[in-house]
Amino acid sequence: MCRHHWCGGLGRMGSLLFFSLFSTLVLAVAIPGDKAPDFSVVDAEGERHSLADYAGQWLVVEWFNKDCPYVRKHYGSGNMQALQKKYTGQNVKWLTVISSAKGKQGYLEPAEALDVAKSHNLNASRPFLLDASGDMGRAYGAKTTPHMFIINPQGVVVYAGAIDDNDSANPAVIASSHNYVSAALDASLKGKGVPQSSSRAYGCSVKY
């Protein structure tokens, strides 16, 4: 037991310092206008990826859970694959991330992930990044599947949020929805400013 009069104050100061540091770590998310958080994650083929690998390139990062109806909305309709194909065809890189923890909905072992990538026609994107620890997802503040982030060649986040403006799980609404990701990429690739840098992400919660 501490017998000095300053111990109680030091304890309170230590607690405040710990809380401040913890809060800073929790809030270190991918915010438009800020540098994108670094990551180091292995994909389903065993290849490691980090943010530095994509320096000087446009990059889209998308969170995925095959069992989520909102993911099925965009993949079952072919909407997500069409976006991947369109923009990777314009030299945009695209990463699809699974942050489901082992034992949680959406978790996939590497062999399973490769099968799902094939069944979902994930041809334009890399095979899934398998972030079972949740470190990458938490660093980016990924809350839902899907949750979309666009990073410019300077490593700055220029968009974070939903894929579009209609949070229905019905794929019939896609045609009449405003696609935030397309709008941001189309403007950016023409050298224009992003019309909307953030939105409320919708979908299933990421199963950390």
User: Are 25 and 69 part of one and the same domain?
Assistant: no
Residue-number span of the structural domain to which 142 is assigned: 31-205
User: Are 129 and 61 part of one and the same domain?
Assistant: yes
State residue 125's pLDDT score: 81
User: Are 37 and 20 part of one and the same domain?
Assistant: no
Residue 64, SS3 per DSSP: coil
User: Are 88 and 16 part of one and the same domain?
Assistant: no
Could you tell me what percent of the chain has a pLDDT over 70? Answer: 87
How many degrees, rounded to 5, is the angle at CA 99 between CA 24 and CA 160?
60
Mean of the per-residue pLDDT values for the chain? 89
State residue 5's pLDDT score: 43
User: What residue has token string 């300077």?
Assistant: 154
Domain count, the chain: 2
User: Are 109 and 12 part of one and the same domain?
Assistant: no
State residue 128's pLDDT score: 97
User: Are 10 and 70 part of one and the same domain?
Assistant: no
Give 3-44 pLDDT, tens digit per residue.
444 344 434 444 334 333 333 333 458 999 999 999 999 999
User: Are 68 and 16 part of one and the same domain?
Assistant: no
User: Are 100 and 21 part of one and the same domain?
Assistant: no
State residue 19's pLDDT score: 37
User: Are 117 and 22 part of one and the same domain?
Assistant: no
User: Are 22 and 63 part of one and the same domain?
Assistant: no
Choice among 23-27, 155-159, 160-164 with the minimum mean pLDDT: 23-27
Q: What is the C-alpha radius of gyration for the chain, rounded to an integer number of angstroms?
A: 19
Is the pLDDT confidence value at 205 over 70?
yes
Alpha-carbon gap, residue 77 to 67, rounded angstroms: 15
The predicted model gives 130-159 an average pLDDT of 98
User: Are 10 and 35 part of one and the same domain?
Assistant: no
DSSP string, 95-158: EEEE-PPTTSTT---HHHHHHHHHHTT--SSPSPEE-TT-HHHHHHT--EES-EEEE-TTSBEE
Give 33-82 pLDDT, tens digit per residue.
999 999 999 999 999 999 999 999 999 999 999 999 999 999 999 999 99
Burial (CB count <10 Å: 0-12, 13-18, 19+), residue 144 = buried
CATH number at residue 44: 3.40.30.10
The predicted model gives 121-146 an average pLDDT of 94
State residue 28's pLDDT score: 52
Is the pLDDT confidence value at 204 over 60?
yes
Model confidence at 150, pLDDT cuts 50, 70, 90, reads very high
User: Are 128 and 84 part of one and the same domain?
Assistant: yes
Q: Which two tokens stand for residue 179?
A: 């696609």
Query: What pTM was estimated for this model as a whole?
Result: 0.86
The predicted model gives 188-202 an average pLDDT of 96
Q: Which two tokens stand for residue 32?
A: 């438009």
